[in-house]
Structure 1
Amino acid sequence: MTRTFMDAAFVLYDRMTALDMVGPYEMLAPNPEITPHFVAHRRGTVRADQGLELNATTTFDELPGPDLIVVPGSGRWRAVLEQNDALLAWLAAAHPAATWTTSVCTGATLLAKAGLLTGRTATTHWVSREVLGELGAKVSTDRVVVDGDIITAAGVSAGLDMGLALVGTLFDADRAKLLQLMNEYQPEPPYDSGSLEKAPPGVVAFARAYDAETSIRTD
């Protein structure tokens, strides 16, 4: 098999959800053919939505044409959607030359606002499905969706599945199975409340109220 070497842009921005990026990173970065870059509007510290500090080592201007783009979502996604013009412009310019453009969770709304999902099928966190549709996408409730050269994953933990699926596509199933094994990714959660369809009504109501309060915050 011919080895294809790729520059992978893992996008960072203030108030992003760390696991959205770290999940795919842990599946993709161990592959020697992939060179990871942590890209943002400017170099330096980026604070995730729960306070974790990450370090952007590359600017958008320094990496105009990556082969692979990974865009995380945010718990403050409504505010983020209105305050990242530099990121949106970079996505619109970088995507045409990329082999794969991907998103996790509400990161799909950023792809959509950048004009990348018009008429395409995509998934996102359940809280942002309506907005994703308003931005021109055909909304799916699947955990991972592939439409042409764009892969979208549903909420947060789905980024792990997307990362594995991408490894299988870029390389082969055995490589993906190896990474699944090394990460011991065999979920057995103690509760069966991980989807909108399975969660108790009271939990869903609380989650909707929580999102309505936090997604617009800019602090």
Structure 2
Amino acid sequence: MDDTKETIPEKRNVKPDGSKYTIKELENMTHDELMALTYEAPRDTIFTIGILLYDGYFSLDAMGPHSVFSSMYPAKTFFIAKEKGLIQSNNGLKTQVDTTIAEVKHLDILVVPGGTADTYRATKDQKLLNWIRQIDQNSKYTTSVCTGAWILGAAGLLKGKKATTNWYDAENKLKGYGATFVNKRYTNDGKYWTSAGVSAGIDMSLALVDHTMGRNYADFVMLNLEYDPAPPFEGGSPEKTDPVVTYMTKKMYDFYIEPVIKELNP
């Protein structure tokens, strides 16, 4: 797929004669008329969207997609964990989760967020991986954000697929799971949608809304979130960041992840 930024199609929401609606004409329309004007037949019908949480996940990896997908009517978007209770993110955010993996047998969309050391631990959790495989058998879309792709990879779902993930050792990590790394903000290979690090999960989620519900609906969600990124300075990827800062960040990730790798692979 081409995930480059698209311009607004010129022929959307115009009269049969090709002219554009005026504000006055829109003001005189009822709510139902406005809805009919913007309605597009969905490509797919989504009813359940489950976002997996585990201790140590990156909060925006989950909360970004949650903010996007929770606007998808009539879908129900909810969090899932191995056990009920408070799940703590890497930065201390505590979220009450009332649904366990044992209670969920089917999802239309599964979202797996990433993290650091605890994400690598999750790649060795066979109970969790077996549940992901079970859900994937009937899901319409199986997705990951950031290093959540490691978990999908460990479940064997990305073998032979193109995928993306957090920039940290990305090519080697995905290669180890039989996947081909694509250096894009987000990408998909069939029903498998993956995003780069953290904030890229919002981009991926919006693209999936566009894919399933149409551009008008995706426009609505994007405007509702006022998602119009304009960073105060250039950065956010290794290509745009000072090499010293990039190296320091990589060493920080090494510090957290390498001991866990050694512990779980004696």
Shorter chain as denominator, the TM-score bin is: over 0.9
In structure 2, the partner of 1:163 is 205
Identify the residue that residue 88 of structure 1 maps to in structure 2. Answer: 129
**Structure 1 residues 122 and 36: CA distance shift in structure 2, 3 A:** same
**Are 1:40 and 1:87, in contact at CA under 8 Å, matched by a contact in 2?**
no
Indicate whether 1:41 and 2:82 are aligned.
yes
What does residue 10 of structure 1 align with?
Answer: 51
Figure out how many residues of one structure are paired with residues of the other and give that number. 218
Match of 2:177 among 118, 135, 150: 135
- Written as runs of structure 1 = structure 2, the 5 A alignment for 1:191-210 is 191-210=233-252
- The yes-or-no answer on 1:151 pairing with 2:201 is no
Q: What residue number does 2:103 align with? A: 62
Contact 2:119 2:148 in 1 (8 A): no
8 Å CA contact 2:52–2:80 kept in 1: the answer is yes
Q: How much does 1:210 deviate?
A: 0.7
Query: Secondary structure of the equivalent of 2:136?
Result: helix
| Residue 158 of structure 2: aligned partner | 117
Q: CA deviation at 1:47?
A: 0.7
Instruction: Work out the CA distance in 2 between the residues paired with 1:138 and 1:90.
Output: 24
| Most deviating of 99-108 and 205-214 | 205-214
Q: Take 1:13 and 1:83, find their aligned partners in 2: how far apart are those partners?
A: 13
* Closer, same or farther: CA 187–117 of 1 in aligned 2, 3 Å: same
Specify every segment of 5 or more residues in structure 2 that has no aligned partner in the other structure, as ranges.
1-40, 261-266
* C-alpha contact (below 8 Å) 1:101/1:151 kept by paired residues: yes
Residues 57 and 217 (structure 1), Cα distance of their counterparts in 2 relative to 1, 3 Å cut: farther
* 1:36-58 residue CA offsets vs partner (Å, 9 max, x unmatched): 12111111111111111112211
For 1:56, the aligned partner's letter is V
Q: Deviations over 1:76-135 (max 9, x none)?
A: 256434553322111111101000000000000100000100000000001141212111
Query: SS in structure 1 opposite 2:238?
Result: coil
TM-score (norm 1): 0.94
8 Å CA contact 2:119, 2:147 repeated in 1: no
Give the conservation status (yes or no) of the 8 Å contact 2:57–2:114. Answer: yes
- Matched residues in 2 for 1:134 and 1:165: separation? 27
Partner of 1:32: 73
For residue 145 of structure 1, report the CA deviation from its aligned partner.
0.7
2:138 is matched with 97
Q: How many Å apart are 1:217 and its aligned residue?
A: 6.5
